[in-house]
Amino acid sequence: MLEFKHVSYHYPATPPVIPDLSFKIEKGEFVALAGSNGAGKSTISRLSNGLLLPSSGEVTVGGFNTKTTRASQIARKVAFLFQNPDRQICQNTVREEVSFGMRVQGFPEEEIKARTEAALETFSLNGDWSPFTRSRGERQRIALASVLAGKPELVILDEPTTGLDYKECTAIMDHIAKLNREEGLTILMVCHDMELIQSYAGRVLVLNRGTLLGDGPTRQIMKDRELLSKARLRPAQIPNLALRLGAGFEDVYTVDEMAALLQKRAGHKEGEE
Ligand SMILES: Nc1ncnc2c1ncn2[C@@H]1O[C@H](COP(=O)(O)OP(=O)(O)OP(=O)(O)O)[C@@H](O)[C@H]1O
Ligand SMILES: [Mg+2]
């Protein structure tokens, strides 16, 4: 679905911020791209949708090479959710906003109508609202509905939950997870919040100064303290606690797993007495 082959990138008059990067994401995966400030996460997401072109090497997305494919063609396959929804929202009603991208891409009018109404329903949005007067969480939901209405194959989320409270964050992420699970939507989530990654991603790419330090299943990466510390990332709390507790806690990654194990142990103790 997305492949980087020996990609390097430098901004005009800067040394390479990405020296030599290769990785591949298959259809249906939920991958997190983790790295601290300035690691190159946003640069990689812009390289992924052809907004930036590699200085050398190749990026292919949905079978298209970004160097030789029109941006509009890539946009049909790859949706991009900005960190700040206000960089995305530009229409006066939610309905116009949700149909805007499809209109730009030249979808037939009938299809735009049908897909817009379906997206409004899925994301519990009122099409007559003015996007600008809604809460931050609702604006993020509007932006997400807009990028997903055209049914892309890959969605890139750049820090999708910044500025959201816990409830808003969970609502947005649960929507995304459901589309991944039920419709096979491929997700690349740029993020430095290891709690969020632990809860949703199946695989993590760990980035430091434009270089991949690690790539593996979330559970494996979460327990690799050395790797996370090299990448200046703070481990998620439960896997970290499990590591400190040591023997018997090796397979514990989530609150539910920790609770189940502690309850089991408490049960044993009572049984012994
Ligand atoms: N337009 C630009 N011109 C020159 N250098 C840039 C530009 N944009 C980013 N950089 C530099 O490229 C490097 C990677 O930046 P990037 O924004 O990709 O990192 P990031 O991981 O997204 O960081 P953050 O967590 O702060 O969003 C940084 O050193 C940054 O200063
Ligand atoms: Mg960034």
Q: How far is the CA of 17 from the centre of ligand 2 (A)?
A: 13
Instruction: Tell me if 38 CB under 6 Å of ligand 1.
Output: yes
Please answer whether residues 59 and 4 qualify as being in contact, where contact means their C-beta atoms are separated by less than 8 angstroms: yes
Backbone angles phi, psi at 157, to 5 degrees: -115, 115
**H runs (alpha helix) in 105-165:** 109-122, 136-149
Beta strand segments in 78-202, E: 78-81, 154-158, 186-191
How far, in Å, CA of 166 to CA of 168, rounded? Answer: 6
| Ligand with the closest atom to the CA of 40 | 1
Q: How far is the CA of 149 from the centre of ligand 1 (A)?
A: 29
Q: Write down all domains in the chain, each with its CATH number in brackets.
A: 2-234 (3.40.50.300), 236-273 (no CATH)
Beta strand segments in the chain, E: 2-9, 18-25, 30-34, 56-61, 64-65, 78-81, 154-158, 186-191, 203-208, 211-217
Q: How far is the CA of 38 from the centre of ligand 1 (A)?
A: 5
Instruction: Tell me if 232 CB under 6 Å of ligand 1.
Output: no
How far, in Å, CA of 127 to CA of 149, rounded? Answer: 13
Which pTM was predicted?
A: 0.85
Contacts of 166 by beta carbon, 8 Å cutoff, 6+ apart? none
Atom of ligand 1 nearest to the CA of 46: 18
DSSP character for 249?
-
Residue nearest to atom 2 of ligand 1 (CA): 11
| Ligand with the closest atom to the CA of 192 | 1
Residue 273 has a pLDDT of 54
Q: Distances from the Cα of 115 to the Cαs of 95, 121, 158, 177, in angstroms?
A: 11, 10, 24, 20
pLDDT digits (tens, 9 = 90+) for 83-122: 777 887 889 999 999 999 889 888 899 999 999 998 898 8
Chain center to CA of 156: 6
Please answer whether residues 75 and 105 qualify as being in contact, where contact means their C-beta atoms are separated by less than 8 angstroms: yes
Q: How far is the CA of 192 from the centre of ligand 2 (A)?
A: 10
Residue with tokens 């991208």: 101
Residue 221 has a pLDDT of 92
pLDDT digits (tens, 9 = 90+) for 133-152: 888 888 888 998 998 888 88
Regions of the chain with pLDDT less than 50? none
Residue with tokens 């494919």: 69
Residue 246 has a pLDDT of 85
- Sheet containing 2-9, strands listed edge to edge, beginning at the edge strand earlier in sequence: 18-25, 2-9, 56-61, 64-65
In a mutational test of the pocket of ligand 1, which residue from 4, 7, 9, 11 has the highest number of ligand atoms less than 8 Å from its CB? 11
